[in-house]
Amino acid sequence: MDMDSQRIPYTAEFLADKPRHELASFVAEQRQLWPKHDFPRLNISKTKREHLFNVLTNPQYGFTRLAPEPRAPSRNCITDNDDLTPLNSSGGTPVADVDVAGQIIQASLQAASQAASEPSAGPVAGPSASRSSKTPTPTVPGLPVGVNVYLVDNRFNPTRKTAVRMSVDPMSDLVVEDDGARLVSAETIVAGVRESICILQGPLRFASPFRSNNTFLEYFGLCNGASLDTCIFKPSHIFLPENNELWIVIEKIADDYSTTIGLDSESPSSSSLVGGGLCNEPVGGDPPQLTQEEVFDTVVSWLKSRASATNGYRLFEAAHGRVLHNPDIIRIWKFVEQFHDSYYRVLHPATKKSIQKRMIRTALNLGETSFNDALDGSRLARIYGPGGSKEDPSVVTELAKIEEPPQGRVVLLDYLRTCEKAHL
């Protein structure tokens, strides 16, 4: 069968809960289709998620994916009905539940640590950078490569440990050397880390186990600010073990070390992997000093991860630019109102700044009018809809109405505002 006949277009529903780096990997498979005039120039590590989403779901650009095989999945496989919670800050574990988060991370990595025939002598306990205890993971040309990144964040006291799952593009992010060893783009890995944890505010540096001797760390990244534009990567690529597992150490820059240093057995980076927090502020220290713009970007990024883990987000994300039936409009309005009520004027844990409406609007990718209309619509539906303090049978009927073509948000909001005036 022709491979083209086995491909299907991307849909908003399929992409709704996918993070930016996964959408970027989909685009990278067919980067020649990226529109050169309608959208900014493609940059796999920096192009905004909304641009990636809009291009992938627009049939005129022709992006497609492999159709799923027409057979029932084994229960050893992940299916669409499984409850998946990613091990990063966008997952379902509340930020405040540090102990629970640590138990999740520790349990997920315990099997890998016990599978090794002898303890690792590396800078962190776990799979050795030069010896894999797992079957090598094959790289399929053209398909994204899944990478597990285990972070040891020494900016915090005690050290925070986090597991992050990301995808890399084998065409643009991987380099295969003559001996078959694979090197992965350091910039791509750091970009994925930035999307998965709350804050990467420089000056700081990144290190990974030295390829030829994993009892040493090799520093490969230096960042002076919160943006990737402030980062320098030397070397530009780092060694990717056969089991696709990377150990990354993050440190604040406090002195001038050489590029590669040895670690003694009592170094914080040499400790065994234990439970840690996700995006918690340093213990016993002040949060990093950020500019107003950096505070805004940091809070918005954190809110986006919170939104994606909130019930109703999938429908909300897939509804952008679509005309909806009344019941779906009400669900989206309620999602916006509940998210606003949950985070408005709440103190952000890392920056210690109060969350403002503009931050919430930006995180939800809503303009001021659309955001305020959603809040107003949800308020009116709560008052005059089912169980409301001024329940109106005609409003109850209108909110449940499904008609073709759907009337959309503007018509429904006008109806509710007219109803409110009639009850004054």
- Which of 61, 51, 59 minimizes the C-alpha distance to 23? 51
Residue 356 pLDDT class (50, 70, 90 cuts) = very high
pLDDT score of 104? 41
Say if residue 118's pLDDT is above 70: no
pLDDT score of 294? 85
Instruction: For the chain, give every domain's residue range.
Output: 3-66, 98-270, 292-423
Say if residue 396's pLDDT is above 90: yes
Q: Provide mean pLDDT across the span 94-100.
A: 38
**CB neighbour list of residue 44: distance below 8 Å, 6 or more residues apart:** 24, 27, 28, 31, 169, 172, 173, 188
Q: Provide mean pLDDT across the span 399-411.
A: 90
Q: Which of 23-37, 188-202, 401-415 has the lowest mean pLDDT?
A: 188-202
| Top-confidence range, 70-74, 105-109, 267-271, 314-318 | 314-318
Say if residue 98's pLDDT is above 70: no
pLDDT score of 123? 43
Say if residue 137's pLDDT is above 60: no
Say if residue 255's pLDDT is above 50: no
| Top-confidence range, 117-121, 193-197, 241-245 | 241-245
Q: Provide mean pLDDT across the span 356-361.
A: 94
Total-model pTM: 0.39
Percent over 90 (pLDDT), the chain:
20
pLDDT score of 199? 58
Residue 321 pLDDT class (50, 70, 90 cuts) = confident
- Which of 103, 102, 128 minimizes the C-alpha distance to 115? 128
Strand partners, 237: 185
Q: Provide mean pLDDT across the span 61-70.
A: 77
- Return the sign of the alpha-carbon dihedral for residues 11, 13, 14, 15: positive
Q: Which pair of structure tokens corresponds to residue 121?
A: 């002598």
pLDDT score of 142? 55
| Top-confidence range, 91-105, 125-139, 222-236, 265-279 | 222-236
Residue 266 pLDDT class (50, 70, 90 cuts) = very low
Q: Provide mean pLDDT across the span 350-369.
A: 91
Q: Provide mean pLDDT across the span 12-21.
A: 80
SS (H, E, C) the chain: CCHHHHEEECCHHHHCCCCHHHHHHHHHHCHHHCCCCCCCCCCCCCCCHHHHHHHHHCHHHCCEEECCCCCCCCCCCCCCCCCCCCCCCCCCCCCCCHHHHHHHHHHHHHHHHHHCCCCCCCCCCCCCCCCCCCCCCCCCCCCCEEEEEEEEECCCCCCEEEEEEEEECCCCCEEECCCCCEEEEHHHHHHHHHHHCCCCCCCEEEEEECCCCCCEEEEEEEECCCCHHHEEECCCEEEECCCCEEEEEEEECCCCCCCEEECCCCCHHHCCCCCCCCCCCCCCCCCCCCCHHHHHHHHHHHHHHHHHCCCCHHHHHHCCCCCCCHHHHHHHHHHHHHHHHHHCCCECCCCCCECCHHHHHHHCCCCHHHHHHHHHHHHHHHHHCCCCCCCCHHHHHHHCCCCCCCCCHHHHHHHHHHHHHHHC
